[in-house]
């Protein structure tokens, strides 16, 4: 079973402050490499038929970085489309069927989260399968979590697991949203009502690199033996 992958790389990176004045957040260096390259490593391990990145802020810099790596890009213009609108806009490049989406501002330490999602995916019962992080294993992240998970793997809103920014998701519900720019939370809400939003709990550690302090923490995590 294989899924095309969309890398979310369109954001302005405002939480990164001075680090994104001259570059997009996915090109911020972590352990000597662009942040997005760490995400690409995970994606390539599952051999997707297509890897696509959506771009907006300083798109030309990311195009110059990604095109030689074989990553297709779609530029959101004139306005940024958020996660839901960005996914819908990229569908012509991703192809039919469920896809994997990945945020590009996190570092994972442990097993490949995409492999776990693919192994657990059941399209007969699931419209989306999200990877969650127990709060104690989510570095540089405040809060008690985004979802609770029951014994069957179904998700509900509430404290429990932090959404790690990686999922498998069916795309048919995207057509129900009239706005051009919207969050995937609107689609998840529909799935919650249908009982088709599922999740997994990650067995490793995860670091949010969405703000400057996260860079050093992520580098220490990559250098650790745990």
Comparing CA positions, the residue from 111, 92, 136, 70 lying closest to residue 203 is 111
Q: How confident is the model at residue 12 (pLDDT cuts 50, 70, 90)?
A: confident
Rounded to whole angstroms, the Cα distance separating 46 from 121 reads 14
Instruction: Name the pLDDT band for 200 (thresholds 50, 70, 90).
Output: very high
Alpha helices in the chain, H assignment, sequence order? 35-45, 59-66, 82-94, 113-120, 184-194, 213-223
Q: Say whether pLDDT at 196 is over 80.
A: yes
Taking alpha carbons only, the member of 78, 74, 85 closest to residue 182 is 85
Q: What phi and psi, each to the nearest 5 degrees, are found at residue 117?
A: -65, -45
| Lookup: tokens for 20 | 């994104």
pLDDT at residue number 226: 62
Give the angle subtended at the CA of 144 by the CAs of 149 and 15, to the nearest 5°.
Answer: 120
Range of the domain at 219: 5-223
pLDDT given at position 219: 96
The predicted model gives 71-87 an average pLDDT of: 97
- pLDDT of 33-63, one tens digit each? 999 999 999 999 999 999 999 999 899 999 9
- The rounded distance, in Å, linking the Cα atoms of 139 and 47 is 28
SS3 104: coil
Question: Which tens digits make up the pLDDT trace of 206-217?
Answer: 999 988 889 999
Which residue from 40, 42, 168, 214 is spatially nearest to 111, judged by alpha carbons? 42
From residue 194, how far is each of 19, 132, 162, 171, 172 by CA, in Å?
Answer: 41, 20, 22, 15, 14
Q: Are 137 and 204 in contact (CB under 8 A)?
A: yes
Report d(CA 59, CA 188) in Å as an integer: 28
- What CATH number is given to the structural domain containing 206? 3.90.550.10
Residues in the chain: 226
Overall number of domains in the chain:
1
């Amino acid at each position: 079973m294989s899924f095309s992958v969309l890398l979310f790389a369109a954001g302005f990176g405002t939480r990164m402050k001075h680090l994104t004045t001259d570059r997009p957040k996915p090109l911020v260096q972590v352990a000597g490499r662009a942040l997005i390259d760490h995400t690409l490593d995970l994606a390539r391990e599952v051999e997707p038929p297509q890897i696509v990145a959506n771009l907006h802020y300083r798109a030309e810099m990311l195009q110059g970085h990604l095109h030689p790596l074989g990553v297709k890009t779609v530029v959101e213009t004139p306005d940024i489309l958020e996660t839901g609108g960005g996914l819908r806009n990229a569908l012509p490049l991703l192809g039919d069927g469920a896809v994997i989406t990945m945020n590009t501002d996190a570092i994972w330490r442990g097993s490949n989260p995409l492999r776990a999602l693919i192994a657990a995916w059941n399209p007969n019962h699931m419209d989306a399968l999200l990877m969650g992080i127990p709060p104690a294993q989510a570095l540089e992240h405040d809060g008690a979590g985004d979802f609770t998970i029951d014994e069957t793997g179904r998700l509900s809103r509430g404290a429990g697991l932090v959404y790690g920014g990686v999922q498998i998701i069916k795309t048919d519900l995207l057509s129900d949203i009239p706005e051009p720019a919207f969050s995937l939370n609107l689609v998840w809400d529909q799935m919650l009502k249908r009982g088709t939003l599922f999740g997994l709990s990650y067995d490793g550690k995860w670091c949010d690199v969405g703000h400057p302090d996260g860079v050093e923490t992520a580098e220490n995590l990559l250098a650790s033996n745990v």
